Amino acid sequence: MSTSVDMHPVPMVRRRLERATWLVFGSIAVPTAICLIAIIRGLPWQILLVLPLVLGAVAVLRKPVVGLYTLFAAALVIPVEPLGFPDSFTDNIPFFSNLSGGASLNVSGLGITPAEILMSITLLGVIGSINVSRVSWPTGRLMAAYAVFGLTVVIGEINGLSHGGDFKLSLWELRPLVYAFFAFTMGTFLLKDRNQLKILLAILILGEIFMGFTGFFRYFVTLERTVANAIPILAHEDSYLLSLFVLAVAIGLVWFRRPSVFGLLVFTPIVIIALVENHRRSGTGALALEILAVLVIAFYLEPAYRKTLAWVGVFLVIGGVAFTIVFWNQQYGALAELIRPVKSMIDPNARDLSSDIYRIAETANLRLTYRSSPFFGIGFGHPYYVVYKQAGVQKYDPLWNIIPHNNLLWIPMRMGAIGLIAFWGLMTAAIVEAIYVAKSVNDRFVRAAMVFTLAAMLGLLFNAYYDISLANYRDAIVVGVMLAIISRGVALAKAEPAKQNQVVTERAAVDAG
């Protein structure tokens, strides 16, 4: 049996080396030439961004999953609003800001953001990759549940505009919901095998290590530990995103226990310090719930680990109680922040008490607004009714009475009972599907990924009750990707054996030649 030269591994390796050489040469020579021309001509430095942006767009069009990776990475590390710290160079990356000149919360002018441009290019790449003779639509058990929720969002928009809602204000509310649905839909299209899951995991780990070091440096060096318990050192949503790193490490310790996992323990204290010094009780509480969920789920899924997990649970409970008692009177620093979520329920300080009063008033106002239209809600584009005074945020949040902190009540307030049922139907479907996949597949990595997404979803819902999560661009993108992973769980577990069989077949063909 003879095979063509293309099947022989030596010419294939030679051609790949040649292409890699030209790629490396081009990636060095072309930007260098552009820099020299810019320096000689005195052109603005922004001209240097043209080539990488064009090359990036071409790469996304040719391989759309790169667009999903980029969007996921940006959601992990780029703040929605500039933070204003002298070391915050990410303030100069307006990924979520309007190109029309306004920041993302500048209600006076709604434009398109670089994030939306990336999404559009990714969508074009996906459309271009579809075989017109055999159209491949997104698949997965969550697609129907997400479609129902999307329909209720459309009904909420029509309902709001039909009785005088502000279209521009409604778009600010719809943006994060669209971002989440885009990330979910593209994920169901593009996630084909476990290697892509590993890439997403690597992006998550590297991104949150970066954010952990950023917060650590900002607290100890830039601010010289002068922020006490008043000023967040990162964006609000970063507390939840940082908790995902600790969650990933905890899952790695349960299911893998490899040197690479133990190596991540070196970065865990840095990430935890950044998380607690960001002064968001909801983020710390979300982390505690996520770890608890991992212990419970692992105890259910892994009978061989039950004794160890039980001892770990006992140790965490006893250690947590002892830690809280010993450091109960600690006023400042990371130790105080660790017990602050518990202490604030019994003996809140002035800041926590003010925050609690605001959220009590907000919750009461949201419930009153919901009762005015319990079936369909008031729709998007309307301020919610403010009967109980909410003081302290109007001066820096122009959307304070449009997008409340309590995002779980934001859903029924806008879309009524039908939106509430559709949303919790989607969340329940995701939880049930994640448990089903984790229990039924033999692939340990996919099983661990299901546990991660399940625990992360529970943490997100906890965080959404106290702080803006569902209506936050970054959290929305992350939750969309996680829902896509859950939806594709069974297919990803089945894809790996099929891929291995294909590789074995190709190697056998080469050997036979």
Q: What is the pLDDT of residue 134?
A: 46
Residue with the bigger pLDDT between 302 and 154: it is: 154
pTM for the model: 0.83
CA dihedral 419, 405, 182, 166 (to 10 degrees): 70
Q: What is the pLDDT of residue 345?
A: 61
* pLDDT exceeds 70 at position 56: yes
Range from 18-27, 482-491, 503-512 that averages highest in pLDDT: 482-491
Positive or negative torsion for Cα 441, 443, 444, 447: negative
Q: Are 435 and 454 in contact (CB under 8 A)?
A: yes
305-310 mean pLDDT: 86
Q: What tokens appear for 470 in the block?
A: 């569902």
How confident is the model at residue 469, as a pLDDT? 87
Q: Specify the pLDDT at position 323.
A: 72
pLDDT at 108 over 50: no
Q: What is the Cα–Cα distance from 338 to 268, expressed in whole angstroms?
A: 14
Q: Choose among 194, 206, 211: nearest CA to 264.
A: 206
Residue 472 has pLDDT above 80, yes or no: yes
**Rounded mean pLDDT, 241-262:** 91
Predicted confidence at residue 34, as pLDDT, reads 55
Q: Residue 127 is inside which H or E element, if any?
A: helix 114-129
The distance in angstroms from the start CA to the end CA of the chain is 6
Q: Poorest-confidence range of 214-218, 317-321, 348-352? A: 348-352
pLDDT average, residue stretch 365-391: 92
pLDDT of the residue at 508: 40
Separation between Cα atoms, residue 303 and residue 284, nearest integer Å: 29
Average pLDDT over residues 328-343: 66
User: pLDDT digits over 359-376, tens only?
Assistant: 889 999 999 999 999 999
Q: Identify the pLDDT of residue 291.
A: 92
Please check the confidence at residue 9 and state whether its pLDDT lies above 70.
Answer: no
Q: 333: pLDDT confidence band, cut at 50, 70 and 90?
A: low
Residue 104 confidence (pLDDT) above 50 = no
- Run of H or E including 341: helix 333-346
More confident residue, 442 or 100: 442
Domain ranges of the chain: 142-200+227-512
CA angle 86–46–34, rounded 5-degree value: 125
Mean pLDDT (the chain, rounded): 81
What pLDDT sits at residue 277? 84
* pLDDT given at position 82: 84
pLDDT at 73 over 80: yes
> 403 versus 132: which is more confidently predicted?
403
**51-65, 138-152, 493-507: the lowest-pLDDT one:** 493-507
What integer pLDDT is reported at residue 48 of this predicted model? 56
pLDDT surpasses 90 at 410: yes
pLDDT digits (tens, 9 = 90+) for 79-102: 998 888 888 888 878 889 887 654
- Across the range 177-202, mean pLDDT stands at 92
pLDDT of residue 46: 52
Q: Where are the beta strands (DSSP E) in 150-304?
A: none
Find the radius of gyration of the CA atoms of the chain.
Answer: 25
Read off the pLDDT of each residue in 330-338 and give the average, rounded to a whole number: 65
Rounded CA separation 120/202 (Å): 25
Spatial distance between the Cα atoms of 343 and 60, rounded to a whole number of angstroms: 48
